[in-house]
Each structure stands twice: as structure tokens, then as C-alpha cells.
């Protein structure tokens, strides 16, 4: 929410959490407020963000559903914004509607990744067709403080979860491995980590700023019989690219499994 606070100001952002101290800490970080319950937050917020574990979402939806319905009936409908992996828009709407409400609640689904905490994230976004374009545009503007916002069809959300959602952890492992290699070669731990971090940061910036394909940039570094091509050969021997692809695939499949097995109301 720090990114959002840059755009709209922290004072109109509120938090609720089962851990009250965690909610207070989040509120202090942006100059926001703390709600006593999820219902109070849903009653007051025009955008109701859901940031819980998938297995906890049904309980939260059951709690706020009466408030969401009440607001819709009064003409002050809230937009529910879920960042919960695996839960589809249709399933969230089903849980909010319950057995007697015929209208579809307004639901937006987003998938941010961890670097959004420092304004460098990737945030995929899709919405139910009931959400107005001006609402989506306003939400995109709010989220832009946390990184790149990209609208995408919901059918690709689990792929996004596997790539950019889980991807930071894979990159951290790579940075750690680079640093360990530097230590193995004789560098101090602090210097090896600093070099590894900057190498990954600079290489990412090269792809982004030049627009060149990574393979082209790789070829520019790998001279004949040189050190880099020797290292690349070692990576290929260890099935580096295939292993990375398998990691993203497994994360994608895990999100798919939750989508298939998440509880219905």
C-alpha cells in the first residue's frame, strides 16, 4: 500500500488484520487508519482489497458479504479487489452473492509480486464485466505507484502467478548462488553479494533499456573461447534453462490445483 499512498495519500487507506499490531504497523507506515473488523473496512472502503492466504479467503468473504450486498442495494457499491492466488472472479462472486442475491458483485483480481513493496513490481489485473472502465482506470493509477500494471485475461492468471508471482524467489536463489560462487573464488561475502546484486540489476536494466532480446545481449558478452562461454557451457550441462522453466511450470501447476480445489460455497 505504500505505492498507493504515493498516489492517493495514506490518510484514506485503512487496514484490518487478525494480528492487530500488524495492522497498526501497516497503518503507521502510510499514515492510514486501522479498522476493528473486516466488516467495518468493507463498509467504509470504496476499494476493498483482500490480501489473505487462499485457504482463509472463504471466511473473509462470508464475513463481508452482507456489507457488500447492503452497499450495492443502497447504490454505494464497493469494488472487491482480490490478490488471492487461485480464486477466480466467478468463485469470489459466488461466495459474496450467497443463495439469495441475484446481482453480481463488482470484483477485480490482481496479482502483484514482492517487488511491488518498493515500487518495482509487476501487477496483473482483470475484472468482472460489471466493473466500469473509469473504475478500472482509477485503480490502475493507484496501483501504478507499486510498479507496472498490466491488464490480462483471467485465464492467464495462474501463468502470471508462476512467472512473476513466484519468480522473485527464483531470482533470489540465483543471486545467492552467484554470491556463493564469488566466495568460492576468494571474494569476501559482502563484496560477492554486492557484485551479484548489481550484476542482476544491471543485466535486467540492459534488457529493459535496450529492447534487445536476452540472447542477443548474451552473445555480445560471450566471445570465442572466452570465460563467459565456458560458464554458459557449464550452465547448459546442468540444464539451467530447463530447470528454470520447470520451476515456473510447477508454480503455475500449483496455482492451477488451487483453482480446481478451492472451496465452493
Q: Which residue has the cell 468463485?
A: 91
Per-residue pLDDT tens for 162-221? 999 999 999 999 999 999 999 999 999 999 999 999 999 999 999 999 999 999 999 999
Share of the chain above pLDDT 70, in %: 94
Three-state DSSP class for residue 114: helix
Per-residue pLDDT tens for 222-255? 999 999 999 999 999 999 999 999 999 999 998 8
**Cβ–Cβ under 8 Å, residues 82 and 109:** yes
Three-state DSSP class for residue 209: helix
**Cβ–Cβ under 8 Å, residues 252 and 161:** yes
Per-residue pLDDT tens for 10-36? 677 999 998 889 989 988 988 899 999
Task: Break the chain into its structural domains and give their ranges.
Answer: 2-154, 167-257
- Name the DSSP class of 167: H
Looking at domain 2-154, its CATH superfamily turns out to be NAD(P)-binding Rossmann-like Domain (3.40.50.720)
- Name the DSSP class of 52: S
Higher pLDDT, 140 or 6: 140
In whole angstroms, give the CA distance from residue 55 to residue 222: 47
In whole angstroms, give the CA distance from residue 80 to residue 68: 9
**Cβ–Cβ under 8 Å, residues 5 and 13:** yes
In whole angstroms, give the CA distance from residue 113 to residue 117: 8
**Cβ–Cβ under 8 Å, residues 109 and 89:** yes
In whole angstroms, give the CA distance from residue 154 to residue 87: 11
CATH topology of 2-154 equal to that of 167-257?
no
Beta strands in the chain (DSSP E): 14-15, 33-34, 47-50, 79-82, 106-112, 121-127, 147-151
Global model pTM greater than 0.85 = yes
Can you name the CATH fold of 167-257? ProC C-terminal domain-like fold (1.10.3730)
What is the longest distance spanned by two Cα atoms in the chain? 73
Q: Which residues of 14-33 are buried (b: 16+ CB within 10 A; e: fewer)?
A: bbbbeeeeebeebbeebebb
Q: What are phi and psi of 126, to 5 degrees?
A: -150, 165
Cell of 34: 486501522
Which alpha helices (H) appear in the chain, and where do they start and end? 2-8, 20-30, 38-44, 57-73, 89-97, 133-143, 157-160, 167-184, 189-210, 214-221, 227-237, 240-261
Cell of 236: 547448459
Amino acid at each position: 500500500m505504500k505505492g498507493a499512498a504515493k498516489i492517493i495519500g495514506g490518510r484514506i487507506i485503512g487496514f484490518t488484520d487478525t494480528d492487530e499490531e500488524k495492522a497498526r504497523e501497516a497503518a503507521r507506515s502510510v499514515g492510514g487508519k486501522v479498522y476493528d473488523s473486516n466488516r467495518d473496512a468493507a463498509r467504509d472502503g470504496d476499494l476493498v482489497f483482500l490480501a489473505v492466504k487462499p485457504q482463509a479467503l472463504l471466511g473473509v468473504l462470508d464475513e463481508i458479504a452482507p456489507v457488500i450486498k447492503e452497499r450495492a442495494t443502497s447504490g454505494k457499491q464497493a469494488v472487491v479487489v482480490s490478490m488471492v492466488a487461485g480464486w477466480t472472479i466467478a468463485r469470489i462472486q459466488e461466495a459474496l452473492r450467497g443463495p439469495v442475491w441475484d446481482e453480481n458483485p463488482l470484483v477485480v483480481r490482481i496479482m502483484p509480486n514482492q517487488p511491488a513493496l518498493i515500487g518495482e513490481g509487476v501487477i496483473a489485473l482483470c475484472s468482472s464485466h460489471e466493473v466500469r472502465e473509469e473504475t478500472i482506470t482509477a485503480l490502475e493509477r493507484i496501483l501504478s505507484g507499486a510498479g507496472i500494471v498490466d491488464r490480462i485475461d483471467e485465464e492467464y492468471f495462474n501463468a502470471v502467478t508462476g512467472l512473476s508471482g513466484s519468480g522473485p524467489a527464483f531470482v533470489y536463489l540465483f543471486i545467492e548462488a552467484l554470491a556463493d560462487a564469488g566466495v568460492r573464488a576468494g571474494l569476501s561475502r559482502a563484496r560477492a553479494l554486492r557484485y551479484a546484486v548489481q550484476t542482476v540489476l544491471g543485466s535486467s536494466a540492459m534488457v529493459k533499456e535496450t529492447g534487445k532480446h536476452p540472447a542477443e545481449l548474451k552473445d555480445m558478452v560471450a566471445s570465442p573461447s572466452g570465460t563467459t562461454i565456458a560458464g554458459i557451457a557449464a550452465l547448459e550441462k546442468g540444464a539451467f534453462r530447463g530447470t528454470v522453466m520447470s520451476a515456473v511450470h510447477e508454480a503455475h501447476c500449483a496455482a492451477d490445483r488451487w483453482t480446481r480445489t478451492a472451496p465452493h460455497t
